[in-house]
Structure 1
């Protein structure tokens, strides 16, 4: 028996295309997995937290409390600041 009968011939033509096809499919699957993980792990909980916050949020009450704390200062007419 010759050694050529025992070993299969290597694939020379189309090897790059075949490897790229497998890698592109793998990259696509990984990208979809990362996008789904971000959507359900970050974006959805963030949207729910914002919705819960604004459901019971009273902006006028918040404004009044901030004013009582002394955060705001009275702004005079802009012409009064001119030298």
Structure 2
């Protein structure tokens, strides 16, 4: 007869235990996404901006835009 009775489900502390698991998982996931964003997006943009600033010639760019007719007051 003892083997046919069911155990009572654990109700006390159930929410805290589930939240602990999910908060740790969410924290690890958010750190992973932040690191991926930093190294995949931000670092490549910084490198591209540094390359642009190193090789940028403003006078050449101005002459090209003037010849294209973008500026109305500069001939």
Bucket of the pairwise TM-score, normalised by the shorter protein: 0.7 to 0.9
Relative contact order: is structure 1 or structure 2 higher (C-alpha 8 Å, sep ≥ 6)?
Answer: 2
TM value normalised by structure 1: 0.76
User: How many corresponding residue pairs?
Assistant: 74
What's the RMSD between the two structures over aligned residues? 2.1
TM value normalised by structure 2: 0.83
5+ residue gaps, structure 1, are 76-83
Question: Which protein has the larger Cα radius of gyration, Structure 1 or Structure 2?
Answer: 1
* Worse-matched range after superposition: 8-17 or 26-35: 8-17
5+ residue gaps, structure 2, are none
Give the match for residue 35 of structure 2: 36
